[in-house]
């Protein structure tokens, strides 16, 4: 079992009440134990971000998440990650990685993105209107096909041991087709890794770090519930039919 991504608590948590059930990711309640984990993870971000070539004082902030977990030896620790990625080709070795392995099928996603970029450059350089329209249509179709293939290969497992890709998860929900970026938020990424590593999920929280969004919907250091548009069907699948099941009425 590879738990090199697990953070050990610096804070003494011996007198902290440990939840018996995972908190609802869609509520505003943040358990004390995950608040402590988040504060420690924020200190890690603040001291390490200079190595990632990402200046939070200048660039847009990001959503981060922490998941407190219990090891098989009953000890506690936490996992941390960012939603999406800081920027292309920037990797933090202590962040839980994306559920999707970009080396799948000989890096089809990278090759596909390169093709889309080349088409965009052709569109920008073209002066004949009919060719521009043709190239735009070609790019649109390639983009849609690439997104479909990506979702086909974005596989999640739940606490009962079942596996489904994003398309299957959303098709059986009221949402229908998954939106762009579904599956790459912090909460499902953290839960997937915990389940794979045999770690028991204890408490989950997500917070915004860095400059606020232009509409001030996200503010630095503030905790926010998991997004329902991208995460609700996925998290309901991952936590269903267990004692950690999300109460749909609360969500």
Instruction: Kindly report whether the global pTM for this prediction surpasses the value 0.85.
Output: yes
Q: What DSSP element (H or E) covers 159? A: none
CB 110 within 8 A of CB 101: no
Annotated domain spans of the chain: 7-99+158-239, 101-153
Q: pLDDT 10s per residue in the chain (251 long)?
A: 457 899 999 999 999 999 988 999 998 889 999 999 999 999 999 998 778 878 888 888 999 999 999 998 999 999 999 998 887 667 788 999 999 888 788 889 999 999 999 999 999 999 999 999 999 999 999 999 999 999 999 999 998 889 999 999 998 777 788 988 899 999 999 999 999 999 999 999 999 999 887 777 889 999 999 988 899 999 999 987 555 544 433 33
Sheet holding 76-82, edge to edge: 7-8, 76-82, 62-70, 200-209, 223-224
83 is written with which tokens?
A: 């939603």
């Amino acid at each position: 079992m590879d738990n090199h991504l697990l953070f050990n608590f610096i804070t003494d948590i011996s007198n902290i009440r440990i939840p018996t059930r995972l908190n609802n990711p869609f509520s505003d309640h943040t358990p004390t134990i995950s608040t402590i984990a988040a504060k420690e993870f924020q200190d890690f971000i603040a001291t390490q971000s200079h190595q990632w070539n990402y200046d939070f004082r200048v660039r847009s902030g990001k959503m981060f998440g922490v998941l407190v977990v219990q090891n098989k030896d009953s000890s506690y620790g936490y996992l941390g990650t960012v939603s999406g990625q800081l920027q292309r080709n920037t990797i933090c070795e202590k962040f839980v990685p994306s559920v999707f392995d970009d080396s799948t099928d000989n890096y089809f996603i990278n090759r596909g993105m390169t093709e889309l970029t080349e088409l965009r450059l052709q569109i920008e350089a073209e002066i004949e209107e009919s060719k521009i329209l043709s190239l735009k249509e070609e790019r649109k179709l390639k983009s849609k096909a690439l997104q479909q293939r990506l979702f086909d290969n974005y596989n999640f497992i739940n606490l009962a041991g079942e596996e489904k890709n994003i398309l299957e998860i959303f098709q059986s929900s009221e949402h229908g087709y998954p939106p762009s970026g579904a599956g790459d938020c912090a909460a499902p990424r953290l839960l997937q890794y915990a389940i794979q590593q045999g770690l028991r999920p204890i408490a989950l929280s997500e917070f915004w770090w860095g400059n606020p969004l232009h509409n001030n919907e996200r503010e630095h250091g503030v905790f926010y519930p998991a997004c329902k548009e991208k995460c609700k069907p996925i998290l309901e699948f991952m936590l269903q039919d267990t004692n950690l099941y999300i109460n749909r009425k609360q969500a």
